[in-house]
Structure 1
Amino acid sequence: MAGKAAGTATRGGKGSAALSREQWIRFYRTMYLSRRTDDRELLLKKQQKIFFQISGAGHEALLTAAGMTLRPGHDWFFPYYRDRALCLALGQTVVDQLLQAVGAGTDPQSGGRQMPSHWTNKSLNLVSPSSSTATQCLHAVGCAEAGRYFHHHPEAAKGTYAPTDYRAWKDVQFHADEVVYTSIGEGSTSQGEFWEALNSASNGKLPVLFVVEDNGYAISTPVETNTPGGNISRLVANFPNFHFAEIDGTDAQACVAAMQEAAEYVRTRKGPALVHGHVIRPYSHSQSDDERQYRVADELEADALRDPLGRMQAWLIQEGLLTEDEVNALEREVDEEVRAAADQALAAPLPAITSIPLHVYSEQVDPCSSAFSTAPAPTTGTGDRTMADLINATLRDEMRRDERILIFGEDVADASRDQHLKSGALKGKGGVFKLTSGLQAEFGSDRVFNSPLAEANITGRAIGMAVRGLKPVVEIQFFDYIWPAMHQMRNELSVMRWRSNGLFSSPIVMRVPIGGYLTGGSIYHSQSGESIFTHTPGVRVIMPSNALDAAGLLRTAIRCDDPVLFLEHKRLYREAFGRAPYPGPEYMIPFGKAKQLRAGTDLTIVTYGALVPRVLQAAQRLSSERDISTEVLDLRSLSPYDFEAIAESVRRTNRLLIVHEDMRSWGFGAEVAARAAEELFHDLDAPVRRLASMDTFVAYQPVLEDVILPQADDVFRAAAELADF
C-alpha cells in the first residue's frame, strides 16, 4: 500500500460500480463487439484480405470500463494497440476499425497509412498513435499541460487569421475538468518515456489517467523478467500526488468502480491516477506470433477460466439483467453487425497513389512561399547585434505577439525558484548560452520554465502540447545530447500529420546549439550530424550563419505549421561576423532559399553554418592570390534546400565545391554532390568535390581539433585545385 504522500491506493476491491441495467447491457455488447471484431480480423488475415492483426482480446472489461467512464470529445485519449474496446465504447464503429485493417483509401484514421489498431478520431479526441510503445505517455502529459494552460489563459485559445500563421487552422477547445487518458502494456513500462511521464505528471499534479494493461507478457517475455518483482504497482507506489488502483482487469464490476474513482480523482484536480489492471491474453501477441512456443497448456487453460467475456455473460444472467435467450439474441445482432462491416470495408476503394505525398508537410501554410519574405524594418541607430541577441529579441517579440508560445528545456528559465527572481535576489540564468535570458521574467513561469534533464521528455511533451494547439519552442541544450529525443523525433514528431492523414499535427520548434570550433569542446560539445535529421521527412531543418538570417528564419519557423529543427551554431552566437541591427518584429525569410554571399565566375562553393565565414576568407584569398573568382552560396535551409540556386550558379561557373562541418562520409554534401552529378553533368567542367571534417569525432586538444575540422586554408587549397582541374 502506498503511503499518504503518494495519494490514494486501492487493491483489488470492487467498490461501488454505478451503472444502470441498460448501461451494463451496453457494456457487455461493447465487450462482445470488440471480441468479434478481433475474430473477424483473424479470419480476414487467414484469407489474406488484410495484412496484419493484433487483438485486444482479454482486455475488454478494463477498456470498456474506461470508455464508458470517460467522455469522448471532452476528454483526450492517447491509446495503444490493445484499446479496441475503449474506442468502440467511445463511439468508433466497427467499419472504421476494419477500414484500417483493409488499408482502404476511405480509412478515416490514416487513409491506409497505418497498420490496424492505430486508433484515431478527431471528433472523439483520439490522437493518432504510433507502433512505438510508451512514447504516447509523454504526449498525454503535454496535452494535459496544454489543457491546463488554456484554462488559465482562455484568451490564448482565440486564433489569429494571417496567411502566415499556423493558428488560423487551430481553434482550441478546452474543459476545466478534462481527463487525459493514456494506456500502455505492462512490458512497455520498462521504457524510459513511461517513467519520464510519471515524473512530470507527478511534479505538475497533471490530470492524466494512466492505464497499465498487464496481460503478463511482452510478446514472449513474462512479466517477472520484464519488471522487478513482477508487479509495476509496487514500483510506482511512491510517486507523490497520484491515485493508484491495482485490480482484476477481467472483473467488469471492479473495473468500473476503479475507473470511476480514478476519473473523479483526476477531474477534481487532485492529481494524476494510475490503474493497473491484471488482464489476460487469450490470443497470441499478434497473428504472426505463436504463443504455444513459450506458454504451457496449463497456463493457457487458467487464463481461459478468467476470460472477461464469459465472466460478464454469467454475471448478467445471474443478476437477472439478461436471460440466456436475450444474450444469444444480442450476440447474433453483433455477429451480423461485424459481418456487414467487414463486407463494407472489403468493398471500399484502395488509396490513390496520388495521396502518398499529402500531409508530409502542412498544406495550409507554406513556409517556402513569398508570404514569408519581408524586408527588415528601418533601423533607428540601435547598432549591430550578435546572433544570440537577435534570437533572444525574436523570441521575445514572438511571445508578445502570440500567447500560445511556450519555451522550455534544460536551464532555459531565469530561475525555477521564481520567488527569488521576483524579489531581485537572483539575476537569473536564461540558458547556458543566455539566449532565453529575461524571458521568464517578462512572461512568467507558466510560459518559460525548466524541464527535467531528459531530452525525450522535452520533445514528447512538446508534441502533446502542439497537438492541442500550443506552439512550443523548446531547447535541446547541446546537439550532442539530442539522441535520447531521436525516438520521439523520428517516430512521432515527423510523422504525426502524415500517419493521421492530416487529422493531427505537432508543429513545434526545436532550437539546438550545434557544432565545434570551440577550443576544448571535445567529443560531447562539438558534434555535427544534421544529415541524419534531413533524412527525416516531415521536419524542416534550418541552420543560419548570421544574426539577420537567424532572426528571419526563426520567426518563419515559429509562424509556420510544420515541426522545425532550428540549428544554431554555438561558435557564431557572439562572433563579430554576421552581426546586424534587429530587423523588427515582422521580419521573415522563407525556407528553401539560399543566399548568394559573393558572386563569381570560376567556381561555386556551397556551404552553411560556421563554414560560411571560413569560406568567405578563402574566397577573398583566392581572388587576391590566384585571381580565381568564387561564387559563395549559403544554403541557410537544409530541408528543404535550394538546389535551383546551386544549379543556376553551376551553370555560370561550371565547377562545384561543397563545404560542411559534419564528417565527409554520408554527410549532407553527399546528397548535393549526387544530385549535381545526375542533373548538372553537362554543365560541369570538373568533378564535384566535397570538403568536410574527418570521419572521426572532435578532439579536446586544439591541435587535433584544428586538423579534424575544415579550416579556411583547407577551403583555399581545395578550391584552387578544383579551379586548376
Structure 2
Amino acid sequence: MVIAPDQVADPLAGFPVQELLEDFATCCRSRALDDREILLQKQSKVFFQISGAGHEVLLTAVARALRPGSDWFFPYYRDRALVLALGVSPLDLLLQAVGSALDPASGGRQMPCHFGDRARHIVSQSSPTGSQCLPAVGCAEAGRYLVRRPELLAAGLHAAGDEVVYVSLGDGTTSEGEFWESLNTACRLHLPVLYLVADNGYAISVRAADQAPAPISELVQGFRGLAVSRCDGWDYAECRRTAAQAVARVRAGEGPGLIHARVTRPYSHSSADSQAKYRPGAELAEEARHDPIECFAAALLAAGLANAEQLDAIRRQARAEVAAAADAALAAPRPDPARVHLHLFAEGSSPTAPSASPIPAPAAPPTGEGTEPLVLAEAIRATLFERMAADERIVVFGEDVADADEGLLAEVEGKGGVFGVTRGLQRRFGSARCYNTPLAEANIVGRAVGQALRGLRPVAEIQFFDYLWPAMQQLRSELATLRWRSNGAFACPAVIRVPIGGYLKGGAIWHSQSGEAILAHVPGLRIAFPSRAADAVGLLRSALTGEDPVLFLEHKHLYRQRDCADPFPEASWQLPFGQAAVVRPGQDLTIVTWGATVRLCLETARRLEAADEADVEVIDLRTLVPWDRELVADSVRRTGRLLVVHEDVLTCGFGAEVAAFAAQECFWSLDAPVRRVTAPDLWVPYAPELEATVLPQVEDIVTGARAVLAA
C-alpha cells in the first residue's frame, strides 16, 4: 500500500513543543560552544579542543529520560550536549576550556570536555578511553547495596531505588577490554547500567571496519540480559523514543541496556587532528546531509512546530549566549600555582609530611589482657572482621575471597582467599559483603573505584602482586587521580590488598616479584608495607577510616612467621601512615628497610654486633607513601652512615628515593657513601638455589654493611 504524504504520521507527535524547542536550543548551544572553542584555540586562548559536533541531537534526546542528581553519569568527551541538557552552563564548560581557577569541574586541572559535577552526579571524567565503564558498574553495585540499607542512607549516603547509571563511549572504545569486562559484570549482576555507544564510524582515523568484524550491537548479542537497541543519532524522534524505552527498562530493574547510535563527526577528532587527511570529500559531503541540527530543524519545520525565523532566532541566541560566556570565561581568574598540590590527598594530609610523633623504639601498641600473639595473616583477618562488624560500608571482594557457594557453606570448610586471609567473612557478613569476582584485575579495581565514590569502603584483593598489571589503568588513571582531577569534589577511599614478594620456594617469576616502586611513582596513592602483625592491624585500621586510596602490600613470606606475630592491639589503636619504627636502636650505622627484609636486617645487626662490635640501627619504614623522612634523617645524622635494603630490583627501586633524600638532606652528616643492597635487575627464578642468588640474603646485607662501616 502506498501512503500519501499527508497520511504520514508526524514523527514529533506526542512530544511537548516547549521541550522540542528547548532541546533544539541546547543542540545549538553545544555546536556554538564547539565553534567558539575552535576560534579561541586558534587565538591560543584555549589550549586544546575536542568536538561534540554530530552528537547533539542524540544526547539531548537521551538526557530527557535521565535525572541529574538522582541518576549517575560517566560521560566521555563528546557528551557536551548531554551535560548542557543536564543543567551545566556554557560558562562552566568554557571556564574549563580556558583553564580558569573557577572551572567547576577541575579548577583548571583537566582539558576541555572532561566533565564533572558533584551535585548532578556527573563523575569527574578521565581521558583513557573506556576506563569509565568499570567504575560505572561499581557505582551501580553501590547504589543497589545502599538502597537496601536504610541505616546507611540515614547516615548521609544517597541512593534511589530506581536510579540509572549512564555510561557513554565511542564505537572505537568498544575495542577496549575494560568495556567487555564491565558488560560481563553488569549482565551477570543484572545491574541498572545504560551504555550509550555513539558510533561515528571512526576512532580518530581508524575506520570501524578496521576495529571489529561487526557493529557493536551485533557483537554484544551473546550477553544474556542485555537489552540492545539501535537508532540514528540525527533523528530526534527516534532517539527520544529509543532512549525513553531503554531507560524505562533499566529503571524498572530489568537489567542493563545498550543503545548503539549512529552519529556524524562533521569536525575533526580534535584540534590536533585533520580528518581531511584520511576522509574523502565525498564521504564528508554525504555525512553533512545527516547533520543532526539541520535534520532536527527540518523536522520542526515539517511538523509546523516552528518557522524558519524562530529557528534562526534560536541559533542567534545560542551564539550570543556562548560569546558572552566566552568573554566571561576569559576574564575569570587564572589558577594559583601555589594551589596545584591541593587535593592530591585528603585535606590536611601530605605524601611528604614528616611523622607527627616519630616512634623511637619498636612499636608497643596497647593490647587486651590475655591476648595471644597472632601471625600477620590472622591479624589482618581479625582486623577485617573487626572493622566489617563496626562499619557496614566495608565490602570485601576479589578472586577466591569468599568461602564457597552459599548452598554449600554447610558442607564445606570454605576457602577465603588463596592464603586464607578472608576465610569466614562471607559466613559472618553474608555474600553481599564478601564475594568473588571474575578473574579480571581491572574489573576488581574499577568496581572498587565506583563503589568508593558512592561512599562505600571497598576492600578489593588482587591475588598476587605479579598479576596487578591488568589493573594498572584503573589504579593509575582512575583510583589515584579522582580527588585531584576533580579538584576535591570526589574522593575514592578504596583499599587494594595485594600479597607481594618472594622467599617462598617455588614461587618463581609469576608469584615472587616485588615492584612497589612502580606504584610509589603514582601520585595520589598511599602505600602500606607492614612487616609484622601489630603494624598491619594499625595501618589497616587507618586505611579503612581514612579518605584516600590505599595499596596495602602484604608480604606472603611473613603471613605465618611466628617472629612477626603480635598480640592483637586494642580497637582504639591505629598506626598513622608516614610513621617509621626504629626496630633496633644503634649508633654506628643506619639500615633502612621494609617488608620481608626487616627480619634479615635485624639478623644482620645481631651478627655485626657479635663479630664486629658494630652498633647498627634498623628502621622499618612501614609505609612508603608517605615515608618517614624525619626519622630517617634524625638517625643518619646520628650514625653518619646509611645502608638501604629492599627486595625489589636495584634500578629505580624505592631505595634510590631514600638514598637521594639522604644525599640531599644529610650530606654534611654522612661519613661514608650511601649504599644499597637489593635484588639485581633480574626476575625471581624457580629453583631454590637460583632464588637465593637473586633475592637479598643476610650474607649480602652483612657485606654491604661492612663496606659502609669501613668507608
User: TM-score under structure 2 normalisation?
Assistant: 0.96
| Alignment check: 8 A CA contact 2:358 2:580 kept | no
Write the letter of the residue equivalent to 2:426. Q
Q: Determine the structure 2 residue equivalent to 1:56.
A: 52
**Does residue 135 of structure 1 match 2:121?**
no
Q: Determine the structure 1 residue equivalent to 2:269.
A: 285
Write the letter of the residue equivalent to 1:273. G
Unaligned runs of 5+ in 1: 1-12, 160-170
SS in 2 for 1:43: helix
User: Deviation of residue 379 (structure 1)?
Assistant: 2.7
Within the candidate set 386, 389, 395, 1:397 is matched to 386
**Does residue 643 of structure 1 match 2:639?**
no
Q: Determine the structure 2 residue equivalent to 1:166.
A: none
1: distance between equivalents of 2:25 and 2:447? 36
Q: Determine the structure 1 residue equivalent to 2:221.
A: 237
Q: Determine the structure 2 residue equivalent to 1:42.
A: 38
| Alignment check: 8 A CA contact 1:237 1:244 kept | yes
Q: How big is each residue's C-alpha offset from its partner over 1:569-614, in whole Å with a ceiling of 9 and x where there is no partner?
A: 0000001121111113222101101100111111100000000111
Q: 1:668 to 1:372 in 2, by over 3 A?
A: closer
Q: Determine the structure 2 residue equivalent to 1:444.
A: 430
Write the letter of the residue equivalent to 2:457. K
Q: Determine the structure 2 residue equivalent to 1:667.
A: 653
User: Deviation of residue 19 (structure 1)?
Assistant: 2.1
| Alignment check: 8 A CA contact 1:133 1:184 kept | yes
Q: 1:93 to 1:609 in 2, by over 3 A?
A: same
1: distance between equivalents of 2:646 and 2:13? 65
Write the letter of the residue equivalent to 1:664. L
Q: Determine the structure 2 residue equivalent to 1:418.
A: 406
**Does residue 585 of structure 1 match 2:571?**
yes
| Alignment check: 8 A CA contact 2:542 2:576 kept | yes
Q: How big is each residue's C-alpha offset from its partner over 1:375-415, in whole Å with a ceiling of 9 and x where there is no partner?
A: 74433323211001100000010001100001000000111
Moved more, 327-336 or 443-452: 327-336
2: distance between equivalents of 1:17 and 1:150? 39
Write the letter of the residue equivalent to 2:375. T
Q: Determine the structure 2 residue equivalent to 1:540.
A: 526
Within the candidate set 11, 22, 28, 2:24 is matched to 28
**How does 1:289-368 map onto structure 2 within 5 Å?**
289-363=273-347
User: Deviation of residue 482 (structure 1)?
Assistant: 0.2
| Alignment check: 8 A CA contact 1:386 1:579 kept | yes
| Alignment check: 8 A CA contact 2:12 2:303 kept | no
2: distance between equivalents of 1:337 and 1:233? 38
Within the candidate set 67, 73, 95, 1:71 is matched to 67
Q: How big is each residue's C-alpha offset from its partner over 1:190-232, in whole Å with a ceiling of 9 and x where there is no partner?
A: 0011000100000000000000000000000000101112x11
| Alignment check: 8 A CA contact 2:132 2:167 kept | yes
Q: How big is each residue's C-alpha offset from its partner over 1:45-64, in whole Å with a ceiling of 9 and x where there is no partner?
A: 11111000001100111111
Q: How big is each residue's C-alpha offset from its partner over 1:427-455, in whole Å with a ceiling of 9 and x where there is no partner?
A: 11000000000000000000000011000
**Does residue 687 of structure 1 match 2:687?**
no
| Alignment check: 8 A CA contact 2:375 2:562 kept | yes
Q: Determine the structure 1 residue equivalent to 2:200.
A: 215
| Alignment check: 8 A CA contact 1:14 1:255 kept | no
1: distance between equivalents of 2:447 and 2:430? 19
Q: Determine the structure 2 residue equivalent to 1:195.
A: 180
**Does residue 521 of structure 1 match 2:517?**
no
SS in 1 for 2:553: strand
SS in 2 for 1:234: helix
**Does residue 427 of structure 1 match 2:413?**
yes
Q: How big is each residue's C-alpha offset from its partner over 1:55-89, in whole Å with a ceiling of 9 and x where there is no partner?
A: 11001111111112101101000000000000000
Q: Determine the structure 2 residue equivalent to 1:6.
A: none
| Alignment check: 8 A CA contact 2:479 2:492 kept | yes
SS in 1 for 2:566: coil
1: distance between equivalents of 2:485 and 2:372? 47
User: Deviation of residue 351 (structure 1)?
Assistant: 0.2
1: distance between equivalents of 2:176 and 2:191? 20
2: distance between equivalents of 1:205 and 1:585? 38
Write the letter of the residue equivalent to 2:182. A
**Does residue 184 of structure 1 match 2:173?**
no
What fraction of aligned residue pairs are identical, expressed as a percent? 52
Q: Determine the structure 1 residue equivalent to 2:157.
A: 172
Q: How big is each residue's C-alpha offset from its partner over 1:279-299, in whole Å with a ceiling of 9 and x where there is no partner?
A: 010000011101011101111
2: distance between equivalents of 1:590 and 1:17? 63
Q: How big is each residue's C-alpha offset from its partner over 1:660-687, in whole Å with a ceiling of 9 and x where there is no partner?
A: 0001111011111111111111100000
Q: Determine the structure 2 residue equivalent to 1:382.
A: 371
SS in 2 for 1:299: helix
SS in 1 for 2:309: helix
Unaligned runs of 5+ in 2: 1-8
Write the letter of the residue equivalent to 1:653. T
SS in 1 for 2:681: coil
2: distance between equivalents of 1:235 and 1:120? 31
Write the letter of the residue equivalent to 1:670. A
Within the candidate set 381, 397, 401, 1:408 is matched to 397
Q: 1:110 to 1:271 in 2, by over 3 A?
A: same
Within the candidate set 261, 272, 291, 2:256 is matched to 272
2: distance between equivalents of 1:124 and 1:384? 50
| Alignment check: 8 A CA contact 1:370 1:590 kept | no
1: distance between equivalents of 2:650 and 2:32? 56
SS in 2 for 1:237: helix
Write the letter of the residue equivalent to 2:115. W
Q: 1:172 to 1:623 in 2, by over 3 A?
A: same
Q: Determine the structure 2 residue equivalent to 1:500.
A: 486
**Does residue 147 of structure 1 match 2:143?**
yes
1: distance between equivalents of 2:641 and 2:507? 34
| Alignment check: 8 A CA contact 2:459 2:494 kept | yes
1: distance between equivalents of 2:188 and 2:357? 42
2: distance between equivalents of 1:450 and 1:218? 35
Q: Determine the structure 1 residue equivalent to 2:88.
A: 92
Q: 1:195 to 1:370 in 2, by over 3 A?
A: same
1: distance between equivalents of 2:48 and 2:229? 33
